[in-house]
Amino acid sequence: MENPKNNKRAVLGLILVIVGFALIAANFNLFPGGWRHIVFSWQALLILLGLFFLLSREAHATGWILIGIGGFFMIPRFWDIPWGWHELFWPALLLGLGAILIVRGVAQRKEPVDDGPDYIDDVSIFGGGDRVISTQNFKGGRVTAIFGGSKYNMTHAQLAKGRNEIDIFTMFGGCKFIIPSDWEIRIEVLSIFGGFSDKRSLRKDDLRDPSKELIIKGIAIFGGGDVVSF
């Protein structure tokens, strides 16, 4: 059975090789005309990130959207048109973020999360706040943070039996989870120009229950988050 992590490493390795060849070509002035400024542009970076999502079989919808945004703003570099990227940057960014949220919402409807105190279903855009979760049967949920973020305090909560998942999406934002140090946690967040880490310190008297597991998965672009404990 194919390991998805190995697949992502192979795709990342291929992208690094391509970037390495591009840098060599740039240093020896091998790019014709103005191609150097095209290859090393933020539009090309978005297209490259989109290809990474597609080839690594992670978040295909997000990959296509990033490629579309990068390709759209690449048009003025090839054709003389009456508008430039600076005139449409924010509208296109909002359209892209909206499309990502719509696609993720449709995809998540196939695996719905029940409402109630045992789940998180939170969206932070240009803001955020602090939430306290005290349920004794926490089962996961969804968190979206764009240009903002929130803090989730689960110090007095208990994890439900079995596999529990929190699906996160952060872009130019982040989130923090305050979780007891004895919870069994696995982080499967794909980070692009960001990061997500478990900063808890395991105490000697902590006994983790392997029958209860919390998986934090999702995507962090120009943002991220962390897990801490008191």
Residue range 157-178, pLDDT digits in tens: 999 999 999 988 888 888 999 9
pTM (predicted TM-score): 0.64
Confidence (pLDDT) at 175 = 92
- Provide mean pLDDT across the span 98-102: 74
Residue 20 pLDDT exceeds 80: yes
- Quote the DSSP letter at residue 17: H
DSSP string, 142-209: EEEEES-EEEEE-TT--BPSEEEEEEEEEES-EEEEE--TTS-EEEEEEEESSEEEE-----TT----
Q: Which two tokens stand for residue 143?
A: 């968190």
How far apart CA 131 and CA 187 sit, in angstroms, is 21
Residue 203 pLDDT exceeds 90: no
